[in-house]
Structure 1
Amino acid sequence: MTRRPRSVPPEQRQVYVQVVEGLLQHGLKGQVSPRLRERLRQAGVDLDRPLLPLYPVPLWARCMDIVVEEVYPDVPRAEGYALLARAHVEGYGATLLGRAVMGVMRVLGPRRMVHRLPEVLRGTDNYTEATLTERGPTHFELHLNSSFSAPGYVEALFEGMLAAGGAKAPRVTKVHDDGDSSTYALTWTPEP
């Protein structure tokens, strides 16, 4: 049975709680200053209360901007987003769902893990559709039905996921972005 693509209008796009929890409660453990906590609360994410099941994408994007501004103020923006993505992968792995996903990634290895990426991404929000094209044994293209404006974030996020799956020297490069969809080349060094 073929799944129908999720056609969710931009104003109804939301991320699931495990994405928010992974970054803010686990990935940034010990780095959430009182000022950052207050700025997030003013934006709409109150870390002193139980997290909501869903967060609108514009709100989540704003929170990520705030985190980069507060936690990585002395590095170029793209580097700050790359650091944020690495913290996010680690933090997501500390959530209940993330522990299971990361455990499976380690067992599968990079090739089989990449084949699972579309399914993994579906579990992060209510709108992402991903298609995968194999270009070679260690070269894939991942097409997303969305675009993310944070420079360096998606690349570092997927590199972190590939590394979690055991890929050696993972490299992710954006090859297309029209503001509505994006495509990334995912490569890594083959095992000798």
Structure 2
Amino acid sequence: MMNAVEGPRQPVVFSQVVDSLFRLTGRQRFDADTRKRLKAIGVDMDQPLLVAYSVPTWRATVGVCAELLHPHLSLDQARYRIGYALTDAYGRTTMGSAVLQLFRMLGWQSSLSRITRGLQSGTNFLSAHTRFLEGGALEVRFEVLPEFHAALGNQSGIEPHFMNGSMDAMMALVGAPFRSGEYQPEQSGLQHTVFVLHRKD
């Protein structure tokens, strides 16, 4: 008997991150029409959250919450704000609190090598690499792990503005001496995103 052929591994965002997003947004903001939109996306707020959600569902859900929280900002600006605030909100969950407590204990320099661990407490498909540039600036490169590329196809697994906000918040939480990260589109690609952080004066 032949074994079943498995498809490509699916990239997902775990439910505790989705729950943190809803807590950040405020569940009272989700009226009947918004709940209907979310259900069509793949998130039924009238049922317990699933264990994990697909990347398209996650990104669309962030978009809906961005509209609710920051209706007067551009979507890119709103995604940045949500990424920043969500890192703090996620830090109040059991899993997030443990990760952030470890980072604070280690200090910002030691924490750089553990960014991937932080990412993988909320997703299964992201990694991060850092290196210092001439003059003391820090380059941070986020990547989708290769085994998930087939499942994503032509869709990017990383939203750069959301990731920028999340990264800036993490750096602030661990006391890293850098200004806000600057997105480097010319060095980024479909499944990787690059930022440069310059030291504060």
Asked if these proteins are the same fold (TM beyond 0.5), I'd say yes
Instruction: Report SS of the residue matched to 1:182.
Output: strand
Higher gyration radius (CA): 2
Counterpart of 2:45 in structure 1 is 47
- The gaps in structure 1 that reach 5 residues or longer are 1-7
| Range 13-22 or range 168-177, more displaced | 168-177
Counterpart of 2:153 in structure 1 is none
What is the CA distance between 1:141 and its match in structure 2? 2.0
Select the residue among 158, 162, 184 that pairs with 2:171: 162
Structure-1 separation of matches of 2:161 and 2:44: 27
Structure-1 separation of matches of 2:16 and 2:77: 24
% identical equivalent positions: 25
Render the CA deviation track for 1:88-124: whole Å, top value 9, x for unaligned.
1121112110111122222222222222112212222
| Range 176-185 or range 128-137, more displaced | 128-137
Counterpart of 1:3 in structure 2 is none
**CA, structure 1 residues 136+121, in 2 after alignment: closer, same or farther (shift >3 Å)?**
farther
Render the CA deviation track for 1:38-80: whole Å, top value 9, x for unaligned.
3222321122322111111011111111111222111122221
Render the CA deviation track for 1:135-168: whole Å, top value 9, x for unaligned.
3796332222235564522111100011111234
Tell me the number of residue pairs that the alignment of Structure 1 and Structure 2 aligns: 181
Instruction: Report SS of the residue matched to 2:133.
Output: strand
Counterpart of 1:37 in structure 2 is 35
TM-score (norm 2): 0.77
Structure-2 separation of matches of 1:153 and 1:66: 13
Root-mean-square deviation (Å): 2.6
Instruction: Report SS of the residue matched to 1:129.
Output: strand
Select the residue among 116, 119, 127 that pairs with 2:117: 119
Whether the 8 Å CA contact 1:22–1:91 is kept in 2: the answer is: yes
Counterpart of 1:140 in structure 2 is 138
**CA, structure 1 residues 186+113, in 2 after alignment: closer, same or farther (shift >3 Å)?**
farther
- The gaps in structure 2 that reach 5 residues or longer are 1-6, 145-155
TM-score (norm 1): 0.80
| Range 136-145 or range 170-179, more displaced | 136-145
More strand per residue: 1
Whether the 8 Å CA contact 2:120–2:126 is kept in 1: the answer is: yes
